Structure 1
Amino acid sequence: MSSNNDEALDEKAKRMRDLLSSFYSPTRSSSTSPNSNPFSKHPSPDDINSSSFQPNHYINILAQKSNLEGLLQRHVEMVTEIKNLDTDLQTLVYENYNKFICATDSIKRMKSNILGMEASMEHLLEKIMSVQSRSDGVNTSLSENREHIEKLHLTCNLLRKIQFIYDLPDRLAKCIKVEAYANAVRFYTGAMPIFKAYGDSSFKDCKQASEEAIAIIVKNLQEKVFSDSESTQVRAEAAVLLKQLNFPVDNLKAKLRENLEHFLSDTQLIPEVEETVSPSSHEVAICEFVEAIRAFQVIFPDSEKQLVNLAQELITKRFLIIEEYVKTRICGEDLLGVLRVIWNDVLLMDEVLQEASLYNHSLEASKVAVKTYIGSVFSHLMQDISDTLLKVLKRDGAEEHSLEVVLDASIKAVLEGGRDFLLDVRRILDDNLEILNELRELIFDWVQEGFQDFFRQLEVQFLLFSGRKTSLATQNRELAEGVHGDKAFPSLVLVLARLSVIIEQTAIPKITKELAASFSGGNFQGYEYEPGFVPEEISQKFRSAGEKFLHMYINMKTQRISLLLKKRFTTPCWVKHKEPREVHMFVDLFLQELEVIGNEVKEILPQGIRKHHRVDSTGSNASSTRSNSFREEKLTRSNTLKGRSQQLLETHLAKLFKQKVEIFTKVEYTQESVIMTIVKLCLKSLQEFVRFQTFNRSGFQQIQLDIQFLRTPIKEIVEDEAAMDFLLDEVIVAATERCLDPISLEPPILERLIGAKLAKTKEQDTISS
């Protein structure tokens, strides 16, 4: 109900405004009527507020749209509106009448005020006319004196100028005395028009004296310009004064340019590079250079191109010094220091030489400097690793050059060197130096590419150290002739094998993880949208290299021992060999070589898990003795009862029915696997050397004694005892096949000779200890 009353009141107020508007502006009321169409040229005839309202038409429409009750209600509303309009109209008339009364009173007051103002204006006019007449009288009386005064004033000025001309030589002399050359030049240039007009007549002496003084001033100014002890500001002021005196400045321009070029030949512009120069002196030098450029611009406005070339040449020279500096061993803070200094210099010079585009010039030079720094870091890291590894070839038993120490130092160089480098790069980027912020993404790529190239070159360096860049035939010849120098070369190869495995399994994953942590948010994209660092590729390279080095170490050690065995079997005449009296010396040499190998692999390789349990040495010897005795008795009976061909046939049949033993297996990075592989290869070589000889009974018995003695110490250092028994038996079988009279030593004699050898060895160990 209340909402209906509010709507009725709003409509009433709206109609009231329209009626009042139509009362004061009939034209506007028709156009702003709520029922009128503003875009219509003809108002609607049923609009009760328009001038074209037609009552009959309105009544017809109202009768058609409303019922009797509606017509009655509309009648009551219209009667109420008419009364309200009458009341509002009456109120409006009263209000406007009050305003008319107030306006009438205001007009009366204005009329009375104007009447009094007219008399005041007439009095003021009389005063003005009186002042004007008196002023005309004063001007008339003073006109003659004023002309005279003006003439006297002109004469006084002329006399003052003449007096200045006569006093000019003394003034110039005083200026020379106190070195006030700027005042002297100002006085002389002010007198130049008079000298040009009257210098050859009235003021001839003054002109001559002034020119002599100016000559002295010019000379002194020239000395200041060309003096290296004067500051750039003083030299610039002197040059400006000379230019005001119309002195030729071609020589001056060349001299000032020479002074500017002096900065280019100064090698002590970077305080971080030259320790003898303090940062304050550097700031003074660059500020002086900037002031010199500013003075040059003032004196020679047409020299902009020359100054741009000079500034760019200076920045280029500075960056060339930085490129040489970053090739030395520096850290990230050192690089930041020199770049910060040169960037501050660029900002100072850019204020006076914006046309030089020093920012872009410095940005391009910074790319080269930063990239050179990254390459230099990896180069020094490569050198550190190489120097550490080469200590293996120089070791003389010193603890600091042991294989374990060298390996640990190499691992530390790879891991800590890469980590420290990433920390330095992180510090450089976190410094937010403006010139480096532009290179942030490029630095990400350069670091990744640097690690990729570093590990590729490191793998190549390992191959060069191992000699694998030469052909296989050349390597074998060098090994046989001892080209690589000493016994330490195989040790280096063993260290390379172990280091390659550690790089593959530890270093590459750690560096990959640290790269991801250090450069989170980087694009990790190399040029041409290829990844800069590919850990899978590097891991594969070092995995393959490690396997090559390990097999190379085994081959070198095997070939060294094979040369020893070959010399043993090719030197004597086995057909005429004497009865064996002791174990041959080659057995000691063979065991010494195995001991050296064992010591090396214990320093470098981890210990593996033994695949076979070792039995007691006594039981082993007894078992071997019983086995050999049984084989010897069998061979003796075969030699007595059968022919030679029948004996060999039975030997081969025994080998066919013997339990099969796996001889050659995959080499692992363990002490046991490497030693076992070397021993197997050496015993196979021993078997082959035996197969190429012909033995008498004594020669065969010597081989039997040597092999029997080898069984116990070899089983002490290997993990596969079954394979050792098989290979040692194969040597005996090969000697049996190549013997003319294969009669074995009696077991007591064999044991006595072995016991004598053991006692002698024990005695030698006691003496040496």
Structure 2
Amino acid sequence: MAEPNENEQNPLDIDGSHFNADLYLERLLKCANLRQIMDKEAEVVTQSQFLQSEMQTLVYENYNKFISATETVRKMRSDFKIMQEEMNKLSENMNKITSFSAQISDSLKESGNNVSRLCGTRQLLDKLQFLFLLPSQLNKAIEEGRYGDAVHDYTHAQRVLHKYGNQPSFRSIQTECSEIIRELKRTLRDRLLNPETTASELAESVGLLRQLQEPDLSLQDTFLSCSESRLDQHLQVLSSMVESTDILEWVEKCNNMLLADLGIVISCYHDMFQEKENTNLPDFANKVMDQVFRLFEEVVRRPENIGTEILIRGLDKFFRKLQAMTEIISSESMSSKAIDAVTQCIQHKTTIQYQAIQSQFKESLMKVRQSLASKGSENPDLKDILNSLQVYLMQKIQASLLDLMAFLQNNLSFGLKTWCAHAVADNCWTVISESMINLSDMVKNMACLQGTNNNIPFELLLILAKLCLELQDNGVTTLHSHLLKLLEEAAPGLVVENKDTNSIMVHLSTAAQTALDSEVVYIGQTAAQMLRVSVLARDWLRAPEPRGPRAVCRRVVETLASADSAASQLFPTSIKQSSDSSRRTIWSRAPSSFSPINRIFSERIEVFSPAGADRAALSNGALKVALKALVECVRLRTFGRHGLQQLQVDIHYLQQRLSCMGNDERLLNALLEDALASAQLRCVDPQLMEPSIVDIICERG
């Protein structure tokens, strides 16, 4: 704002009010050359001519406006004079019209009174004519099915008939009309009882009976009873459609037929008896809707409706109709039942999902079991089988979770509801938990059957045990994180409670331990059975001089080595390198060192202790079972010298081959020493061979 003020007060500004021509000219002569001065002169002359031309134009325009204004004023003066003359004439004419109107009113006053009396007489005659023609009009309207017109005419004339019905001229009319109306009431009641009558016709009949002064309580019961019989027919039709149609067709039929009629019945009931207490209506509506929900549940459970898309489309249409019905029925339980219908569908879909996962996983296990049973001499890649099963199970569960997220689509009437999101979240977790628990139960059952059904490969138990441990460590957490991610995408801002994974972890851990224990016992008992038969069936007193280890020892080593090799593919190895001192021979002790007194104070070996999830622990468990059986069988036999030496060779062979399995050579040596010591105690001529000879025999054998 400061700059314009400075320009206006500048004496050198040619456009300002404080312009000083002498000072401007002096400044120009000092600062400019001749050429610039001449150009400035030409510019000033041009601007002066332009301004002079504009001033002339403004003068001419103002002059023309002044002339036009003068002519307008002159014209207005003449127009006002004409208007004044017209107004005067109009005033005179109005005065004349007023006087003439007064004269006409005085002359027609008596005639107007006569006309009024005649009109009143005409109306009275019309009423009398209506009364005399009323019976015939009522009969005609009833014959033509115009029950509403008949009731309207009767109620219109009813007051006059009640007032003048005692007079002889009207008594017959009243009697005849009463008889006609009595027949009309009977007709309307028959119409109510007719199953072919529509809901709107029922409402019309009840409304007409109410106009004819029928008791409201009786009409309420009759209306609801007739409506119930009609709705029962719809329910029978819907019930017959349950086994033959899909959910979309059933819902369309239910919405357009039963629920539409129910809405009409309730609306008409409210319109007709709005001033009365609707004591029977809630029970009536709840009774009908309970049957509808029961049929809907049967439709949902049909195998043809297990597809998520068709189930959701049918459920959405049904829920939208239920929301509309909630506003009509005004029942507190109706809204909760509609929500229950959605949650039950989600729960049903959830049950189908984890049952399908269980059945499909069983089929995969059956294929794995068959492939392991028919492997022959080949060594299958157990790690690859484990990864395939784990990936397959995880993908199936994740696909089921994604399938359930379809219930949270934005275009669904219930998709954005908080209760629906919580129901989906809970049921998704149910899929995860039930799948894990079913897997655990399946593993436990197979482990229990291992003792009675030898067709189950022990490799399968190892795979299932490792699978349970992998799911316990990472699988459940991964699925839980995946579920939270899906919920965040489908229902942003939804607050979901953290799920308790401890119980699932316990199930998986217990199943894994059961499978490992069963595998250890199976391998140990298989080897123990071979040793038991070989010991108990041989005559050790008459045994020949040993030439090498017996064939049963080789089979035992092969069995234990096969199990150890399978365990090494799946479980970590913690085998420690044995020291040279642990590889000592075990036949150098005297029999007295293994006396019963020494055994009492020796460390107790727990044969059937829980197996650890480790290759060495599994091998140790099987070794304990097998060698403990060898010890017990040796104690039941009597040995000769060659029999004792044969057992010495066998034990040395077992020590050489089994020392690479497990990580507890002390345990291995203790059991083998116990077996040899027991044989020495049971031998009639306890003479052991030299260790070097035993080594030669074992190498040669």
Q: When the two structures are superposed, what TM-score results if normalisation uses the length of structure 1?
A: 0.60
Task: Specify the alignment match of 1:557 in structure 2.
Answer: 523
Partner deviation per Cα, 1:594-653 (whole Å, 9 max, x = no partner)? 65994998699659999999xxxxxxxxxxxxx9xxx99x99xxxxxxxxx979789xxx
User: Which residue of 248, 251, 255 corresponds with 2:218?
Assistant: 251
> 1:678 maps to which residue?
622
Distance 2:547 2:153 in 1: 123
- State yes or no: 1:347 paired with 2:313: no
- Between the aligned partners of 1:488 and 1:604, the Cα distance in structure 2 is 22
Distance 1:249 1:390, change over 3 A: farther
Q: 1:393 to 1:121 in 2, by over 3 A?
A: closer
Q: 1:554 Cα shift?
A: 0.3
Deviations 1:174-214 (A, max 9, x none): 22322111111122222323332343421333333333332
**Which one-letter code corresponds to 2:486 in the other structure?**
S
Q: CA deviation at 1:508?
A: 2.6
**Per-residue deviation, 1:289:** 0.7
CA distance in 1, matches of 2:279, 2:590: 107
* Equivalent of residue 380 in structure 1, options 355, 363, 368: 355
Cα distance in 2 for partners of 1:257, 1:406 equals 67
Partner SS state of residue 414, structure 2: helix
Go from structure 1 to structure 2 and tell me whether the alpha carbon gap of 1:394 and 1:208 turns closer, same or farther (over 3 Å shift): farther
- Give 1:128's match in structure 2, choosing from 86, 98, 107: 98
Q: Does 1:442 align with 2:422?
A: yes
**CA 1:399–1:587 in structure 2 vs 1: closer, same or farther (change >3 Å)?**
closer
State which of 381, 400, 405 in structure 2 corresponds to 1:426. Answer: 405
Contact map agreement 2:357 2:397 (CA 8 A) in 1 = no
Structure 1 range deviating more: 403-412 or 242-251: 403-412
Query: Could you tell me how far apart the structure 2 residues matched to 1:293 and 1:381 are?
Result: 43
Contact 1:169 1:209 in 2 (8 A): yes
- C-alpha distance in 2 between matches for 1:193 and 1:134: 42
* Structure 1 residue aligned with 2:604: none
The equivalent residue for 1:242 is 209
Q: Quick check: 2:465–2:511 contact (8 Å CA) kept in 1?
A: yes
Shift of 1:707: 6.3
For the 8 Å contact 2:560–2:619, the answer to whether it is kept is: no
Structure 2 residue corresponding to 1:290, chosen from 263, 273, 283? 263
Instruction: Give the 3-state SS of the residue equivalent to 2:169 in structure 1.
Output: coil
Select which of 130, 138, 141 maps to 1:164: 130
Cα RMSD (Å) of the superposition? 5.9
Residue in 2 aligned with 1:307?
281
Q: Which position in structure 2 is the counterpart of 1:227?
A: 194
Structure 2, unaligned stretches of length 5 or more? 11-68, 578-582, 595-608
Structure-to-structure mapping, 1:708-727, within 5 angstroms? none
Give 2:640's aligned residue.
696
Tell me which of 430, 454, 457 is aligned to 2:434. Answer: 454
Whole-angstrom distance in 1 between the partners of 2:360 and 2:328? 49
> Residues 736, 371 of structure 1: CA spacing in aligned structure 2 closer, same or farther, 3 A cutoff?
same
Query: Could you list the per-position Cα deviations for residues 496-522 of structure 1 after superposition, in whole angstroms to 9, with x for gaps in the alignment?
Result: 423313423563354134224312366
What residue is the counterpart of 1:86 in the other structure? Answer: none
Distance 1:549 1:219, change over 3 A: same
Please say if 1:336 is aligned against 2:309.
Answer: no
Contact 2:441 2:511 in 1 (8 A): no
Distance 1:105 1:154 in 2: 62
* Matched residue count: 597
Quick check: 1:365 aligned with 2:337?
no
Deviation at 1:446, TM superposition (A): 1.6
| 1:563-602 correspondence to structure 2 within 5 Å | 565-566=531-532, 569=535, 574=540, 576-577=541-542, 579=544, 587=552, 591=555, 598=562
Report the CA distance shift for 1:314/1:126 in structure 2 as closer, same or farther (over 3 A). same
Report deviation, 1:166: 3.1
Matches within 5 A, 1:164-203: 164-200=130-166, 201-203=168-170
TM-score by length of 2: 0.65
- Residue 356 (structure 1) aligns with: 331
Aligned residue for 2:202, secondary structure, equals: helix
Deviation at 1:395, TM superposition (A): 8.7
Which residue in 2 is equivalent to 1:415?
394
CA offset at residue 364 of structure 1? 5.6
Between the aligned partners of 2:374 and 2:183, the Cα distance in structure 1 is 82
Counterpart among 727, 732, 741 of residue 685 in structure 2: 741
Distance 1:646 1:133 in 2: 165
| Partner residue, 1:507 | 475
Asked whether the 8 Å contact 2:437–2:504 carries over to 1, the reply is no
Larger mean CA deviation between 334-343 and 113-122 belongs to 113-122
Amino acid at match of 2:336: H
Contact preservation (8 Å) 2:188, 2:209: yes
Please state whether the residue corresponding to 1:236 is helix, strand or coil: helix
Q: Which residue of 2 aligns with 1:211?
A: 178
CA contact (8 A) 1:612 1:720 kept: yes
Percentage of identical aligned residues: 18
| CA spacing shift, 1:512–1:379, aligned 2, 3 Å | closer
**Matched AA of 1:280:** E
Are residues 106 and 386 of structure 1, via their aligned partners in 2, closer, same or farther at CA, if it must alter by over 3 Å? closer
The 1:290/1:551 distance shift into structure 2, 3 A limit, reads same
CA distance in 2, matches of 1:316, 1:743: 91
Partner amino acid, structure 1, of 2:684: L
Structure 2 CA distance for aligned equivalents of residues 115 and 356 of structure 1: 79
AA partner of residue 244 (structure 1): Q
Please report how far the alpha carbon of residue 296 of structure 1 lies from its aligned counterpart in structure 2 after TM superposition. Answer: 0.7
Contact 1:707 1:728 in 2 (8 A): no
Structure 2 CA distance for partners of 1:313 and 1:338, relative to 1, 3 Å: farther
CA-to-aligned-CA distance 1:288-322 (integer Å, 9 cap, x gap): 11111111112211244543454456556655666
Measured at CA, do residues 422 and 596 of structure 1 come closer, stay the same or move farther in structure 2, by a change above 3 Å? same
Equivalent residue in structure 2 for 1:520, among 488, 493, 497 = 488
Local SS of the residue matching 1:532: coil
| Structure possessing the higher radius of gyration over alpha carbons | 1
Partners in 1 of 2:641 and 2:264 — Cα distance? 106
The Cα of 1:449 is off from its aligned counterpart by: 4.8
- Determine the structure 2 residue equivalent to 1:660: none
Report if the CA contact (8 A) 1:587-1:706 is conserved.
no
- C-alpha distance after superposition, 1:703-732 (max 9, x if no partner): 4676689899x7899799999997998566
Change (3 A) 1:385 1:485: farther
CA contact (8 A) 1:459 1:541 kept: no
Q: Provide the C-alpha distance between the structure 1 equivalents of 2:86 and 2:626, rounded to a whole number of angstroms.
A: 146
Structure 1 unmatched runs, 5+: 9-98, 469-478, 614-626, 636-644, 651-663, 759-769
Kept in 2: contact 1:381–1:413 (CA 8 A): no
Counterparts of 1:315-330 in structure 2 under 5 Å? 330=306
Which string of whole-angstrom CA distances, capped at 9 and with x for unpartnered residues, describes residues 16-69 of structure 1? Answer: xxxxxxxxxxxxxxxxxxxxxxxxxxxxxxxxxxxxxxxxxxxxxxxxxxxxxx
The structural deviation recorded for 1:690 is 2.8
Q: For each residue in 1:501-550, what CA deviation from the matched residue of structure 2 results, as whole angstroms up to 9, or x when unmatched?
A: 342356335413422431236668655xxx2154x875576356424531
Using a 3 Å threshold, how does the CA distance of structure 1 residues 185 and 592 change in structure 2: closer, same or farther?
farther
Distance 1:411 1:591, change over 3 A: same
Structure 2 distance, partners of 1:248, 1:666, is: 85
Q: Could you tell me which amino acid in structure 2 is paired with residue 236 of structure 1?
A: A
Question: Are residues 267 and 105 of structure 1, via their aligned partners in 2, closer, same or farther at CA, if it must alter by over 3 Å?
Answer: closer
1:695–1:740 Cα contact (<8 Å) kept: yes
Q: Secondary structure at the match of 2:126?
A: helix
AA of the residue aligned to 2:622 = I
